[in-house]
Amino acid sequence: MLQARSLSVEVGGRLTLVDASFTVAPGDKVGLVGRNGAGKTSMLAVLAGHTKAHGGDVVRRGALGYLSQDPRTAAATTAEGLSALDHVLSGRGLDQLAVTIEKRRLALEEDPSEANVARHARAVDAFELAGGWAADAEVRRIAAGLGLPGDRLDQPLRVLSGGERRRVDLARILFAGSDLLLLDEPTNHLDTDAKVWLMGFLASYRGALLVVSHDLNLLDEAITRVLHLNDGRLSEYKGTYSQYRRSLEADEARRAKVASAQAGEIKRLSSLADSMRGQTQRRARTAKSIDIRVARLRDAAISGPQRERNLDLRLPPPPRAGRTVLEVEALAKGYGGPPVFSDVSFDLGRGERLMVMGLNGAGKTTLLRVLAGEAEADAGSWRLGLGVSVGYYAQEHEGIVGGKDLLTHVREQADLPLGELRALLGMFGLPGEMAFQDAGTLSGGEKTKLALAQLTAGRHNLLLLDEPTNNLDPPSRSAVAAALGGWGGAMVLVSHDPDFVRELQPQRVLLMPEGTLDHWSDDLLDLVSMA
């Protein structure tokens, strides 16, 4: 169970939630919605106890499962060489219980005393009570449902891609059997089959669930109540996401009607009072009384619904490059075991767009990291063409550094006047008051916008894009797709978003891990969300 009482949340010196109270009881499935930057991620972190509230209290009862937006967290807090399987098992403490059993067994071999026999028996009983004997099979079933093959589970956590680590984190939370789930964008990096599996799991989940997601299908299928966060105010709606949207539209229409009527009455009374001034003393007193009434009406007036703020992105044309911008020859990469991919060869022409497709673990992210200079290839070579400048969008936002403000991030990409840098941030929905905010406090959607602003500031002519629409709300996703769709530079693209890929209109497709090249066809759009 989760209860918030008079809760307020502060991010970067601004209140994103003010005096909110609500309860999520066992069996409740609640969706937390709002535009990018509304404060959903920060609110979830406070509810999970990862950050402090500005005011109010949070009460949690039962075991907590919290999925943050940042897949780097797990990798940074786990031991070197720890396998993904062991990390999932640790959700129930089974890794430590297994270590304890082994210690008790060794102690028993050295001294078969009654005390050591009893200690060993208690350790075995605890392991059995936690489901230890069937745990391996259960973990692999959950991981398979989330699209993570068994051979990837046996790999060290540190070598997995961001999407794979996120699946591991989600599998760990689901395996742990929590009483309360707080999930921040759980469908990021999941293909269609994995999303369907997760929706089924959440639909049958009996604990308390609060989920942040821009995946409308998930919200419609899995939840029964919506909390809408906007300008620090939390509003509650019963029903699915579709029902919430209808109720919100009705509320906004009613609010607009009331606000218009109030404004009309204030205007009428103000004009009446003005017409009485400078006349008789009695009329002047009446005008003063009307002024008091107008002041009271203004204090009690409601504001009309705010229009959804859509991005208006205008990307500068890319600098001129040579005819061929990228050549890749027999590239191979592995992590100590079998290669993730091998013998990958292709070239990319000026302004051409290449879509990289493959199942999870096929090496799509690894390929982009090699081309961006973030990882070394095991074999083969690649080279850039004449006058080529590369911009890399990493799905884990490695270029966004906590402790450094937004303005510094874009200034490092281009030596432009302060006003132009602020305007660039504003174009991506990061207004002037956020310029000096610590980038580490941004939500996932805001980090995506900052990373795209960095790419724009860098004036590149070749972009390596790894899931650039993750964490974006639908209006922002459409704006980014339209802006990149009309941009004239070359791209190598990885995405599970069919609408985004359709807008970018790639000319060719690279199928991983085989490295097979083919011409793009819109028939492949049906496979994008699965690969």
Widest Cα–Cα separation across the chain? 110
Same domain for 522 and 376, yes or no, is yes
Compute φ and ψ for 8, nearest 5 degrees: -130, 140
Same domain for 359 and 482, yes or no, is yes
**Distance (Å, rounded) from C-alpha 485 to C-alpha 351?**
11
Same domain for 11 and 86, yes or no, is no
Q: Are 350 and 326 in contact (CB under 8 A)?
A: no
Secondary structure class of 44 (helix, strand, coil): helix
From residue 401, give the alpha-carbon distance in Å to each of 75, 110, 175, 307, 440.
17, 52, 31, 32, 6
**Distance (Å, rounded) from C-alpha 395 to C-alpha 467?**
6
**Distance (Å, rounded) from C-alpha 420 to C-alpha 275?**
48
Same domain for 362 and 286, yes or no, is no
* Residue finishing a domain among 179, 203, 227: 179
Q: pLDDT tens, position by position, for the chain (531 residues)?
A: 899 999 999 987 788 999 999 999 999 999 998 887 788 989 999 999 998 999 999 999 988 999 987 655 444 445 567 888 889 988 888 888 888 888 888 888 888 888 888 888 898 888 888 888 888 899 999 998 988 888 788 888 877 777 788 889 899 999 988 899 999 988 887 777 888 888 888 888 889 999 998 887 777 878 889 999 988 899 888 888 888 878 777 877 787 788 888 888 888 888 888 888 877 888 888 888 888 888 888 887 777 666 556 678 888 899 999 999 999 999 999 877 778 899 999 999 999 999 999 887 788 989 999 999 998 999 999 999 999 999 999 887 878 888 899 999 999 888 788 888 888 898 988 888 888 888 888 888 888 899 999 999 889 999 999 989 888 888 888 899 999 999 999 999 999 889 999 999 999 999 999 999 999 998 898 888 766
Specify the length of the chain in residues: 531
Compute φ and ψ for 36, nearest 5 degrees: -55, 135
Helix axes 132-145, 192-204, angle to 10 degrees: 130
Same domain for 386 and 465, yes or no, is yes
Check residue 305 and give its pLDDT: 62
Check residue 245 and give its pLDDT: 78
Q: Report whether the peptide linkage leading into residue 305 is cis, meaning its omega lies within 30 degrees of zero.
A: no
Residue 190 lies in a domain: no
Same domain for 333 and 470, yes or no, is yes
Same domain for 331 and 291, yes or no, is no
Among 384, 375, 383, residue whose Cα is nearest residue 340? 375
> How far is C-alpha 132 from the geometric centre of its chain's CA atoms?
33
Q: How would you list the strands of the sheet with 14-24, edge to edge?
A: 14-24, 2-11, 55-60
Q: Are 29 and 2 in contact (CB under 8 A)?
A: no
Q: Are 377 and 521 in contact (CB under 8 A)?
A: no
Same domain for 394 and 521, yes or no, is yes
Same domain for 294 and 414, yes or no, is no
Check residue 73 and give its pLDDT: 46
Residue 397 sits in a domain whose CATH number is: 3.40.50.300
The tally of domains found in the chain comes to: 4
| Terminal Cα distance for the chain, rounded | 37
Same domain for 57 and 116, yes or no, is no
Same domain for 292 and 339, yes or no, is no
Same domain for 364 and 495, yes or no, is yes
CB atoms under 10 Å from CB of 105, counted, come to 14
Check residue 505 and give its pLDDT: 92
**Distance (Å, rounded) from C-alpha 465 to C-alpha 368?**
8
Tokens representing residue 217 in the block: 């299908």
- Structural domain span for residue 460: 324-528
Secondary structure class of 480 (helix, strand, coil): helix
**Distance (Å, rounded) from C-alpha 34 to C-alpha 53?**
19
* Residue finishing a domain among 179, 194, 225: 179
Residue 390 lies in a domain: yes
**Distance (Å, rounded) from C-alpha 47 to C-alpha 344?**
46
Tokens representing residue 11 in the block: 């991010």
Q: Are strands 208-212 and 29-33 parallel, antiparallel or unpaired?
A: parallel
